[in-house]
């Protein structure tokens, strides 16, 4: 330990040496490592008695005779290739939280104001945002790392440019993100927001974007209706004890025919249907099921009406299909109930 005065500033210097045994090379794994001298580094420590304190640290160098690699000893006292210790950085952040200015902190810690600014940037994640919030947005979620569901918002017009990606889809975090980055005036300019049938988003959109019109994505509507149709189809063929019957085979192997638009089913030319292993028109295969199972026919009819209305973009037909629907005690009941609340 020594104390010197440089440019009128008292500097307390602690001299130390960092060395430890290394048996294997971290690059090639061979036990051919030898010591290869030492290199002097300077580590800035926290202030002591309001005086500058630093460490003159001699770090051991190592050399591998096999791969000829060289490296130095490391310590958790300071980051690699840095001179400011973790102790000093945490002290700076403590003063920042107390509201002290950059120049004052630099004077107390005996470092430059630019060093204080760099420390703050390393510790504080900046609130990034798009310069201008798009008028038309899309909300959705996706599966990210560790099978977690994350939130994504993008521009609905300009090549789906990403506006925000959040690590989760919690309502609180989504609201905080937009409230902290965009003013009320900016959020009032958003005209439309495209979402799926997730009621979570619909519940807070008007809180964030008062003038925005909510648009339900057509893809998600038909996807949900298709799942309800499949659910009814599966429940139906599970009731068959004879797995060799034509009806069972049609329901299980030819499920794509039920998702196909009814007007596009081939009704004139018989084709070989795999799974059934016989020649039959697509229209006859579907009719064979619908004639014998009226409840499933009602679910199928509802799916076809929704599909046709969305394809033609006919709002009146879509509304009438939802309002005129009669319960079938199937998964389609929940789908229509959800659409009734959203559309």
What is the per-residue pLDDT across 111-128, written as a single tens digit (0 to 9) for each? 888 888 888 888 876 567
Cα–Cα dist 331/190, whole Å: 35
Whether 131 maps to a domain, the answer reads: no
Residue 27 contacts residue 66 (beta carbons within 8 Å) = no
Q: Are 41 and 82 in contact (CB under 8 A)?
A: no
Listed residues 51, 66, 82: the one ending a domain: 82
Domain that holds residue 27: 1-82
Q: Which of 47, 82, 117 is the last residue of a domain?
A: 82
In this structure, are 224 and 338 located in the same domain? yes
d(CA 159, CA 177): 22
Same domain for 65 and 90?
Answer: no
Statement to judge: residues 303 and 314 lie in one domain: yes
Which regions in the chain score pLDDT beneath 70?
A: 1, 7, 48-49, 125-127, 342-343
Into how many domains does the chain fold?
A: 4
Classify residue 212 by its DSSP letter. Answer: P
Please give the pLDDT value at position 49. Answer: 67
pLDDT of residue 193: 92
> 139: part of which helix (H) or strand (E)?
strand 136-143
Domain membership of residue 275 (yes or no) is yes
246 and 326 share one domain: yes
Q: What is the pLDDT of residue 69?
A: 92
- Residue 195 is encoded by which pair of tokens? 């979402």
Instruction: Tell me what pLDDT residue 127 has.
Output: 61
Are residues 228 and 334 part of one domain?
Answer: yes
Rounded distance between C-alpha atoms, residue 47 and residue 63, angstroms = 36
Q: CATH number for the domain including 152? A: 3.30.420.10
Choosing from 168, 190, 216, the residue where a domain stops is 216
Rounded-to-integer distance, Cα 289 and Cα 201, Å: 39
Is the same domain home to 205 and 239?
A: no
Looking at the structure, tell me whether residues 69 and 91 fall in a common domain. Answer: no
Tokens of 340: 């009734």
pLDDT at 51: 76
* Residues 43, 65: Cα–Cα separation, whole Å: 30
Which residues lie across from 150 on neighbouring strands? 142
Residues 210, 323, single domain; the answer is no
Query: How far is it, in rounded angstroms, from Cα 163 to Cα 130?
Result: 6
């Amino acid at each position: 330990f020594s104390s010197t005065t440089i440019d009128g500033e008292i500097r307390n210097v602690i001299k130390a040496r960092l060395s430890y045994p290394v048996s294997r090379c971290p690059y090639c794994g061979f036990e051919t490592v030898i010591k290869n001298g030492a290199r002097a580094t300077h580590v800035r420590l926290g202030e002591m008695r309001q005086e500058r304190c630093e460490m003159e640290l001699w770090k051991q160098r190592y050399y591998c005779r096999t791969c000829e690699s060289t490296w130095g000893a490391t310590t958790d006292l300071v980051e690699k290739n840095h001179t400011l210790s973790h102790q000093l950085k945490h002290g700076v952040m403590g003063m920042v939280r107390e509201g002290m200015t950059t120049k004052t902190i630099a004077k107390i810690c005996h470092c430059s104001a630019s060093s204080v600014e760099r420390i703050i940037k390393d510790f504080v994640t900046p609130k990034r945002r798009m310069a201008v919030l798009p008028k038309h947005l899309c909300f959705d979620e996706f599966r990210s790392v560790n099978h977690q569901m994350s939130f994504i918002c993008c521009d609905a017009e300009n090549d789906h440019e990403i506006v925000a990606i959040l690590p989760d889809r919690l309502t609180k975090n989504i609201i905080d993100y937009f409230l902290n980055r965009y003013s009320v005036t900016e959020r009032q300019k958003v005209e439309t927001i495209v979402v799926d049938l997730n009621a979570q988003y619909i519940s807070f959109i008007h809180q964030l974007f008062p003038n925005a019109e909510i648009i339900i994505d057509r893809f998600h509507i038909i996807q949900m209706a298709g799942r309800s149709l499949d659910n009814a189809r599966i429940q139906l063929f599970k009731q068959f004890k004879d797995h060799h019957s034509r009806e069972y085979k049609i329901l299980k192997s030819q499920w794509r025919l039920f998702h196909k638009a009814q007007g596009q089913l081939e009704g004139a030319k018989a084709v070989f249907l795999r799974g059934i292993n016989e020649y039959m028109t697509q229209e006859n295969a579907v009719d064979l099921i619908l004639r014998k199972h009226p409840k499933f026919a009602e679910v199928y009819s509802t799916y076809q009406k929704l599909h046709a209305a969305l394809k033609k973009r006919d709002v009146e037909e879509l509304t009438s299909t939802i309002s005129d629907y009669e319960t079938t005690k199937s998964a389609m009941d929940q789908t229509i109930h959800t659409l009734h609340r959203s559309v």
